[in-house]
Amino acid sequence: MELGFLLGSLLKIIAIIAYIYGLMWVLGRPSIWAKIAGLVGAFAVVQLALTDINGFRLLNNFDNGLLFQACAMTMVALGLNLIYGFNGQFSLGQWGFYGIGAYAAADITYRWINGDARGLLVLGLGTLLGTLVLIGINTWLQRFRGIPVLSSFTLYLIGALIAGTVAVYLGNQLNPLITPLLGTAGEPGPLNTPAVQQIIYFLSVILAGIFAAQISFLFGLPVLTLGSDYFGIATLGFTIVVNTLMVNSDTILPFPEMKGGRGMIGIPKLTTWFSAFFFMMLVIIIMRNLIHSSTGRSLVAVREDEVAAKAMGIDVAGAKLFAFVVGSFFAGLGGAVYAHYIGFLSPGTFDFLAGFNPLIIVVFGGLGSMTGTITATFGWIFFLEGMLRVLLSQMGTEAPTWRFVLYPITLLLLMLIRPQGLLGSVEWGFLKGPQFTPAPRSRPEPAHESVA
């Protein structure tokens, strides 16, 4: 066993945690320039570590892979923490939305580089029309009182299906206008330069997020009326359905390029450190601003006591749906970033057993702690996937299997020693949200003379 490797890995994990702490600290400074400088600096440090300088790189290819995996997982886990940790809805569906995001974004860019614009057109128009239709139906339903959930769900579903059909039709009609500009994979056209591909990639990530969010809206509307445990089972079912559809994407779904159970190969590897960092920070900032606002407080209130939340004027069903949709949006973004890093999607990755990973991370890091989720994701990926795997593989070919003995034992111990998770509900710097110190007040008006 190599002591050097062990020490190096430990050092890396400590450095990563210090890095996250520093980033959150600098983002927590009041000055906007400090925040921008911190973001640019944090980006540059890692970019430098990834660059080849005279044949030396601080982070090798293996670490590189772990880094991108951790970025994608951070988005997924933060989304789940919003749903489970902050809103209190036990969900196993996060992995399904992750898969939907990955496949949707991969399909857009894969088709694009192969001279087919329909992926972008259909999904772009579909999400746009779908959003308009859903908002329209919602506004119209506001006029009525006491509509059963299933009735409104049926309306939304019909609306979404019509929007989808129109999008497919328009996409097929508009496609011939763009196709000549795309060229083929062998001879790229003017719209297939690396710069344009990056733009398409950014669009595809955002569209994948919105698409996942729309699916989650339609799924969540009827299912969120279930109580917590039943909701968990229903979302588990969702993940399994999505996985089955992936395995059969070339037979029962009309997507031959996804190649079903054989896995989708040839996805352009467009994820750079810039985009991974950009989307991860986007998710972190949205999440933090959301949690530390009145809406965020209402989400937490629903977790704490639904009946009391209702009596405080909070729309409990709406709050649950909102958290679920935003959480799934994050998962969709994460999936899209992951797909364009790895370049190969297999349904095995989105198996429901793997879907427990974000759940474990969220519980490990602390329910209701954003800091906990972020550090737990990086720690988990670099410890489990990185250090432990390499270390054990040096002890014999069968040894890596011990990972799945050591790691559940770690979990067991943690749950026994610290059931509230590693960080409980502690937040660092930026993630703490706005602080205030109340002015020392001299009693303005005594309410009542207390009886001595």
Partner 1 sequence: MEMKSNGNKPTVLEIRGLTKFFGGLAAVRNFDLTLKQGELVGLIGPNGAGKTTVFNMITGLYVPTSGEIYFNGTNVVGLEPHEITRMGIARTFQNIRLFPNLTVLDNVRIAYHPHCGYTLTDGLLRTPRFSAKEKELTEQALNFLSIFQLDRIYNEVAKNLPYGEQRRVEIARALACNPQLLLLDEPAAGMNPREIIELMDLIHFIRERFDLTILLIEHQMRVVMGICEWITVMDFGQVIARGTPKEIQENPLVIEAYLGKGVTHVA
List of residues contacting partner 1 (CB under 8 A): 145-146, 286, 289-290, 293-298, 300-301, 304-305, 307-316, 434, 436, 438, 441, 443-445, 447-451
Is the Cβ of residue 1 or residue 451 nearer to partner 1 in the bound state? 451
Is the Cβ of residue 272 or residue 295 nearer to partner 1 in the bound state? 295
Rg (alpha carbons) of the chain, rounded to whole number? 24
- Shortest separation between residue 410's beta carbon and partner 1, angstroms: 26
Is the Cβ of residue 184 or residue 293 nearer to partner 1 in the bound state? 293
- List 56's β-bridge partners, or say none: 53
CA-nearest of 46, 28, 18 to 288 is 28
Distance CA 382, CA 385 (A): 6
- Shortest separation between residue 237's beta carbon and partner 1, angstroms: 28
In a 10 Å sphere around its CB, with 0-12 CB exposed, 13-18 middle and 19+ buried, how is residue 73 labelled?
buried
With residue 344 as reference, give the H or E element that holds it: strand 344-345
- Shortest separation between residue 419's beta carbon and partner 1, angstroms: 14
Is the Cβ of residue 3 or residue 451 nearer to partner 1 in the bound state? 451
Going from the C-alpha of 350 to that of each of 80, 97, 244, the distances in angstroms are 16, 10, 10
Is the Cβ of residue 294 or residue 397 nearer to partner 1 in the bound state? 294
- Shortest separation between residue 75's beta carbon and partner 1, angstroms: 17
Going from the C-alpha of 120 to that of each of 105, 148, 203, 206, 425, the distances in angstroms are 9, 36, 8, 11, 41
Q: Which amino acid is at 206?
A: I
- Shortest separation between residue 445's beta carbon and partner 1, angstroms: 7
Is the Cβ of residue 17 or residue 282 nearer to partner 1 in the bound state? 282
47 neighbors 273 (Cβ within 8 angstroms): yes
Name the region of 43 (left: φ>0; alpha: ψ -120 to 50; beta: rest): alpha
- Shortest separation between residue 41's beta carbon and partner 1, angstroms: 21
Taking each helix axis from N to C terminus, what angle separates 61-80 and 356-365, rounded to the nearest 10 degrees?
A: 80
Structure tokens of 38? 């911190």
Going from the C-alpha of 364 to that of each of 320, 357, 379, 380, 411, the distances in angstroms are 23, 10, 10, 9, 8
Is the Cβ of residue 2 or residue 305 nearer to partner 1 in the bound state? 305
- Shortest separation between residue 414's beta carbon and partner 1, angstroms: 20
